[in-house]
Amino acid sequence: MQQILTLETTQTSNAVIVATNVCKEYNTGTVKVQALQGVNLTIHTGEVVAIMGPSGCGKTTLLNCLSSLDTIKSGTIKIAGRDIQCLSDRQLTALRAREMGFIFQSYNLLPVLTAVENVELPLLVSGERPKKAREQALERLAQVGLEARANHRPAELSGGQQQRVAIARALSTHPSIVWADEPTGALDSKSSQEVIDLMLRLNQEQQLTFVWVTHAREVAQQASRLITMSDGLITEDLALLKG
């Protein structure tokens, strides 16, 4: 199946993510599933890219492979100019810590920690001094409007507030790329729009690159670029005009 690209994806200037002929295969024991079948994709600094498609089309697999959370069968993926297939596990961990933030549908907050403790955790793991980590975590919570809830545990926060904490945690290490897998999937429409508005504001203010995987078209249409997938391939790649 040939990829239909209506947006130029071969340009490499200012490219932060470049995937070339990426293939991914899962072996279930009885059958081999071709999850990605030669995907080519370039994402530039400051873009907000939404990836859509039916269940099983490969969109979450693509996000996991691009972010180095999963390995590929063949092809190349470069993040900030570095071929991630050539990096050791330690180097990949360092790259994720330095360049990437992650947001998930289920928030993935540690329930025994307060909001500020959840946000400062990546900083502490990366070796930041506790006092400095706490200062930066409070700054990130202020960015997402939750400084007053810093000492509350996840169970004491609404779904939208928990996702804001997750966004603050994703921003704690000053990443250049934020990956979001169904970031509004567990939220009501009001909270969903608040989270999207927050990410778009952060994109505008800090030139953060966002990659969203979403099943919600009303979410995807607020990105600057919409990628549609089917059967492990990109079938459409559109720049979205803003009014």
* 92 domain residue, yes or no: yes
Number of domains composing the chain: 1
* The pLDDT of residue 13: 62
* Identity of the residue numbered 92: L
CB atoms within 10 A of CB 163: 30
Kindly report, residue by residue over 16-66, the tens digit of the pLDDT.
Answer: 999 999 999 998 888 888 999 999 999 999 999 999 999 999 999 999 999
Supply the pTM of this predicted model.
0.89
8: in domain = no
Which residue range forms the structural domain that includes residue 88? 15-239
Spatial contact of 184 and 216, defined as CB atoms under 8 Å apart:
yes
Percentages of the chain per state (helix, strand, coil), in multiples of 5: 35, 30, 35
Please give the share of the chain, as a percent, with pLDDT higher than 70.
93
Residue 78's domain is classified under what CATH number? 3.40.50.300
Q: Is the pLDDT of residue 8 over 50?
A: no
Whether 7 is covered by a domain: the verdict is no
Residue 215 within any structural domain of the chain: yes
Domain assignment present for 6: no
Residues 198, 209, 179, 124, Cα dihedral to 10°: -80
Condensed to tens digits (0 to 9), the pLDDT of residues 141-200 reads: 999 999 999 999 999 999 999 999 999 999 998 999 999 999 999 899 999 999 999 999
Does 3 fall in a domain?
no
| Token duo for residue 69 | 């959370």
- Beta strand spans in 162-217 (E): 177-181, 209-213
- Identify whether 150 is part of a domain: yes
Residue 1 in domain: no
| pLDDT tens per residue, range 196-242 | 999 999 999 999 999 999 999 999 999 999 999 999 999 999 998 76
Rg (CA), the chain: 18
